[in-house]
């Protein structure tokens, strides 16, 4: 089944859906994939988007696309694993005004079971996927508490709550993300800070295309089809579909929702084997 992302030029900045007018949203890992889709979708819904990424040029590309379509965005080079760098970045953003929402998306993948995971592999995955989320939440909460509340959305994965082959370190890190989400939601109820997470199944991102090109040269289309049909619904998710759920969870319409892990899995969790 052929799939493709929906570029910003095919959308409108007069979206009739959930709105984020007047709100400042920080999106980590916003230079590509799911993070980019979220940055674009949130901008179409009225948010001022701060794109944080370790890849400055790609972050600027995302911001340029948003700006050319009439949206508001800024790019900020930052290594989420460096707490001092994260704190400085968020303090600079806070000088411009309130941070309403943090979307913790920056992450890396790793393929391999326990015995194929080196100590360095394990440490690196946790450094980005767990410590990076911790650093950004810690920096954002300070601003949110001082301004009457906010929203935190963490990008987890179905790998964190169900058994996936050859994903030992990655699955473990995403399980930690889910646990952190529940903990922060509980601890900051009184501060009017909501915290949820999304657990997608396989999403068609540049990582998938790169993986297929590296490991299955000449067989990319065949293997893409196999991976797509391993989902009960018969295809991979598209980044803009993750962005749509993210928009709802970060909007005021979801103000009664906190401490929840939302599977976006095409039936993977409940319908496998049926």
Does any domain span residue 6? no
Does any domain span residue 249? yes
Q: What is the CATH number of the domain that holds 177?
A: 3.40.50.720
Does any domain span residue 174? yes
Q: How confident is the model at residue 5 (pLDDT cuts 50, 70, 90)?
A: very low
Does any domain span residue 12? no
Question: Does residue 212 sit in the same domain as residue 101?
Answer: no
DSSP 207-244: HHHHHHHHHSTT-HHHHHHHHHHTSTTSSPBPHHHHHH
Question: Does residue 211 sit in the same domain as residue 86?
Answer: no
Question: Does residue 160 sit in the same domain as residue 258?
Answer: yes
State the average pLDDT for the chain: 89
Give the DSSP letter of residue 153: E
Question: Does residue 197 sit in the same domain as residue 213?
Answer: no
Whether 42 contacts 27, CB under 8 Å:
yes
Distance CA 72, CA 197 (A): 25
Does any domain span residue 158? yes
Question: Does residue 191 sit in the same domain as residue 210?
Answer: no
Q: How far apart are the first and last CA of the chain?
A: 20
Say how many domains are in the chain. Answer: 2
More confident residue, 11 or 1: 11
pLDDT per position as a tens digit, 127-181: 999 999 999 999 999 999 999 999 999 999 988 888 788 899 999 999 999 999 9
List residues with catalytic annotation. 170
Question: Does residue 73 sit in the same domain as residue 193?
Answer: yes
Question: Does residue 215 sit in the same domain as residue 197?
Answer: no
Question: Does residue 252 sit in the same domain as residue 227?
Answer: no
Distance CA 154, CA 159 (A): 14
Does any domain span residue 147? yes
Does any domain span residue 9? no
| Segment 103-123 mean pLDDT | 95
Question: Does residue 151 sit in the same domain as residue 221?
Answer: no
Containing domain of residue 70, as a range? 17-201+239-266
Does any domain span residue 273? no
Question: Does residue 159 sit in the same domain as residue 213?
Answer: no
Question: Does residue 138 sit in the same domain as residue 222?
Answer: no
Classify 59 as helix, strand or coil. Answer: helix
Distance CA 178, CA 199 (A): 9
Question: Does residue 114 sit in the same domain as residue 213?
Answer: no
pTM of the model: 0.88
pLDDT per position as a tens digit, 69-106: 999 999 999 999 999 999 999 999 999 999 999 999 99
Whether 249 contacts 153, CB under 8 Å:
yes
């Amino acid at each position: 089944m052929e799939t493709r992302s929906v570029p910003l030029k095919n959308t409108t900045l007069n979206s009739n859906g959930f709105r984020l007018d007047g709100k400042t949203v920080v999106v980590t890992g916003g230079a590509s994939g799911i993070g980019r889709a979220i940055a674009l979708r949130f901008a179409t819904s009225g948010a001022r988007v701060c794109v944080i990424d370790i890849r400055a040029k790609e972050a600027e590309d995302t911001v340029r696309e948003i700006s050319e379509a009439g949206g508001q965005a800024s790019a900020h080079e930052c290594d989420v694993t460096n707490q001092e760098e994260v704190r400085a970045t968020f303090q600079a953003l806070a000088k411009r005004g309130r941070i309403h929402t943090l979307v913790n998306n920056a992450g890396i993948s790793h393929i391999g079971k326990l015995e194929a995971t080196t100590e360095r592999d394990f440490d690196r995955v946790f450094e980005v996927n767990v410590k990076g989320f911790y650093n950004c939440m810690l920096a954002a909460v300070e601003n949110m508490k001082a301004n009457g509340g906010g929203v935190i959305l963490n990008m987890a994965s179905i790998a964190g709550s169900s058994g996936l082959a050859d994903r030992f370190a990655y699955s473990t890190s995403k399980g930690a993300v889910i646990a952190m989400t529940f903990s922060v939601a509980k601890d900051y109820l009184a501060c009017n800070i909501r915290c949820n997470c999304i657990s997608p199944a396989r999403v068609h991102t540049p990582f998938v295309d790169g993986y297929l090109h590296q490991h299955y040269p000449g067989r990319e289309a065949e293997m893409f089809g196999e991976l797509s049909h391993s989902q009960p619904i018969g295809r991979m998710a598209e980044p803009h579909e993750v962005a749509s759920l993210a928009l709802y969870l970060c909007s005021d319409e979801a103000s009664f929702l906190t401490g929840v892990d939302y599977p976006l899995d095409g039936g993977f969790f409940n319908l496998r084997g049926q």
